[in-house]
Amino acid sequence: MFNVGIMKRLVTAVTAVALCSPPAALPAAERAAQPTAVGLWERDDSSGMPVAWFRILDCDGVYEGKIVRIFPKPGEDPSKWRCTECEGDQKNAPVIGITFIKGMRKNGLAYQGGSILDPRSGSVYNALMELSPDGQQLEVRGYFAIPLLGQSEMWKRIPANSLPPGRFASCSSSSPSRTDIRQ
């Protein structure tokens, strides 16, 4: 026959596991309701003035970011800036429009497994991004080896119509999702 005590313990154990498990199997509608990092973002300096705008794109489940506008200091002309220290297909590429965040994969509100380029030096760092629950702030962290050895910036979301439609809105041809460099 069947033991009622064993059955109660089994039901209790299954319930506990279900309640404590991460929401990996959320219904599609609930996952779709979560905010994403896709869109336009602004980085401000310490005085609150804008420094640059960035566009985050979803490229078949791999997220990348482009520099779409730079607010120069008097006398600077960012349209002439080039990534002279970059390697590969980004060598001497214009800084405005360059794909500087690559290979990020979404996990809830976190984006991981990617890299971020510093176009001033050509250095590439590991990267993490964390979206606020309301989807209005994005913490971007570049780091060497481990996240503890890095630097974070806080970006704020700006309206999608701040740039003309389609400006820097396509995925790069060298994105990991397109070339299968990373799995």
Q: How many domains are there within the chain?
A: 1
Could you tell me the pLDDT band of residue 166, with boundaries at 50, 70 and 90? confident
Mean pLDDT, residues 92-108 taken together: 97
Quick one: pLDDT at residue 11? 34
Q: Decide: pTM greater than 0.85.
A: no
pLDDT of 36 above 80: yes
Per-residue pLDDT tens over the stretch 11-31: 333 333 333 334 444 455 555
Q: Would residue 113 count as lying in a domain?
A: yes
pLDDT score at 110: 98
- Give mean pLDDT, residues 106-118: 97
CB neighbour burial string for 106-140, b if at least 16 within 10 angstroms, e if fewer: beebebebbbbbebeeeebbbbbbbbeeeeeebeb
Within-domain flag for 2? no
Instruction: Examine residue 80 and state whether it is found in any structural domain, yes or no.
Output: yes
pLDDT the model gives residue 172: 82
Quick check: is 22 in a domain?
no
Give the tokens for residue 164: 């003309």
112 within domain boundaries: yes
94: CB partners within 8 A, 6+ apart:
79, 81, 82, 83
Among the listed residues 98, 130, 133, the one whose alpha carbon sits nearest the alpha carbon of residue 114: 130
Indicate whether 151 pLDDT > 90. yes
Q: 54 with 98: CB under 8 angstroms? A: no
Q: Answer yes or no: is pLDDT of 169 > 90.
A: no
